[in-house]
């Protein structure tokens, strides 16, 4: 099964923050033959262990979140129209005229309607519709809706993985199932590399609502090194080059307060040694990734962040380049292999 097919299966599944169980089995099936142990913790994080060949191995944890932003049923009015709220940082400007699935007793297809421009006044046309003013139309009466849908059901945008030109792909939920695919590719490469470190690949839950999955999984694993594999802001017209990384030019290696300088330096060295294209991504404060929770768990963890360039973040047409995902997995694998003979204390000292 090609990486593109695995990505398609992951992004087209639903898994809004707090409702990740619906995608869990799909991800487990992909890691099944690549990991030595699989664990599901009480919060729902998937933890895949690939053992190293040392008596006292270094523990390296990679975290990529499997949850996606989405919506939740808030109310059903007398005509069967459904009001909703957001889960995570949904860009409400993109919601009108979207197709959605409401995950009730069975998935129910619907659309987010919009007031016709003919009936909007001049002031309405200047404003972005508020989420509380939008409704989902499923074409059923209130009674029929209530037989299938309940308050609190999750909602996802209906979107398939769309292949664009020159190895580009677009879909919802590439943030951060692209990171999970990179981690999967890393595990594939490790089958042919010697490594003494124990590698924990964690598909975290509830990153979009406060990196909660990373908090508990890092506490459980207590890794020596933790690296978040997430997406970074892809360059588009109108965005500053200082705030973005370019698609097709390799992963961003993040530098900032959330990052251990020795890990950043080693990732750069590995990229150069193995001719892996890379970019520098600056993150002066919290990275906004699972690394911000990993770093301060227990007595503290040395953390890094690798970012896959992504355009149109938190919309239903997020866009990536598959080469960036593959190069991210390659960078992860060779980083792991490079620590085979490392003195951890010396490596991480400031």
Angle in degrees, CA 30, 290, 266, rounded to 5: 85
C-beta neighbour count of 324 within 10 angstroms: 31
Q: d(Cα 219, Cα 256) in Å, to the nearest integer?
A: 23
The dihedral through the CA atoms of 149, 151, 154, 160 has a sign that is: positive
C-beta neighbour count of 49 within 10 angstroms: 17
C-beta neighbour count of 198 within 10 angstroms: 23
3-state secondary structure of 92: helix
Question: Does the annotation count 188 as an active-site position?
Answer: no
Q: Which of 207, 220, 281, 318 is catalytic?
A: 207
3-state secondary structure of 105: coil
Strand residue runs (E) in the chain: 37-40, 46-50, 59-65, 70-76, 82-87, 99-103, 107-112, 136-137, 154-157, 162-163, 168-171, 198-204, 225-233, 252-256, 279-283, 302-310, 318-321
DSSP string, 193-258: S---SEEEEEEES--TTTSHHHHHHHHHH--SEEEEEEEEEB--TTS-GGG-B-TTS--EEEEETT
Structure tokens given for 311: 């355009």
Which residues are catalytically annotated?
Answer: 207
């Amino acid at each position: 099964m090609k990486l593109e097919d695995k990505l398609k299966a992951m992004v087209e599944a639903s898994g809004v923050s707090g409702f990740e169980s619906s995608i869990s089995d799909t991800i487990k099936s992909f890691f099944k033959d690549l990991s030595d142990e699989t664990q599901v913790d009480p919060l729902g994080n998937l933890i895949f262990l690939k053992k190293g060949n040392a008596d006292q191995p270094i523990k390296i944890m990679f975290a990529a979140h499997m949850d996606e932003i989405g919506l939740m049923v808030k109310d059903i009015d007398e005509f069967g129209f459904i009001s909703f709220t957001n889960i995570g940082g949904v860009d409400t400007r993109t919601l009108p005229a979207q197709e959605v699935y409401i995950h009730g007793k069975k998935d129910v297809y619907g659309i987010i309607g919009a007031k016709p421009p003919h009936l909007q006044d001049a002031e309405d046309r200047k404003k972005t519709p508020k989420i509380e003013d939008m409704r989902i139309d499923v074409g059923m009466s209130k009674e029929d809706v209530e037989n299938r849908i309940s308050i609190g059901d999750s909602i996802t945008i209906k979107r398939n993985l769309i292949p664009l030109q020159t190895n580009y792909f677009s879909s919802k939920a590439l943030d951060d199932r692209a990171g999970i695919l990179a981690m999967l590719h890393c595990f594939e490469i490790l089958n042919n590399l010697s490594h003494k470190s124990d590698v924990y690949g964690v598909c975290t839950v509830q990153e979009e609502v406060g990196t909660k999955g990373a908090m508990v999984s890092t506490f459980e694993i207590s890794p020596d090194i933790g690296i978040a594999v997430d997406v970074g802001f892809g360059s588009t017209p109108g965005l500053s080059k200082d705030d973005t990384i370019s698609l097709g030019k390799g992963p961003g290696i993040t530098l900032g307060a959330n990052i251990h300088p020795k890990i950043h330096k080693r990732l750069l060295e590995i990229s150069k040694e193995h001719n892996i294209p890379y970019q520098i991504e600056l993150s002066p404060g919290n990275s906004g990734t699972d690394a911000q929770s990993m770093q301060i768990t227990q007595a503290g963890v040395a953390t890094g962040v690798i970012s896959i360039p992504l355009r149109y973040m938190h919309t239903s047409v997020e866009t990536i380049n598959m080469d960036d995902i593959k190069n991210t997995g390659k960078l992860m694998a060779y980083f792991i292999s490079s620590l085979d003979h490392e003195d951890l204390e010396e490596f991480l000292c400031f």
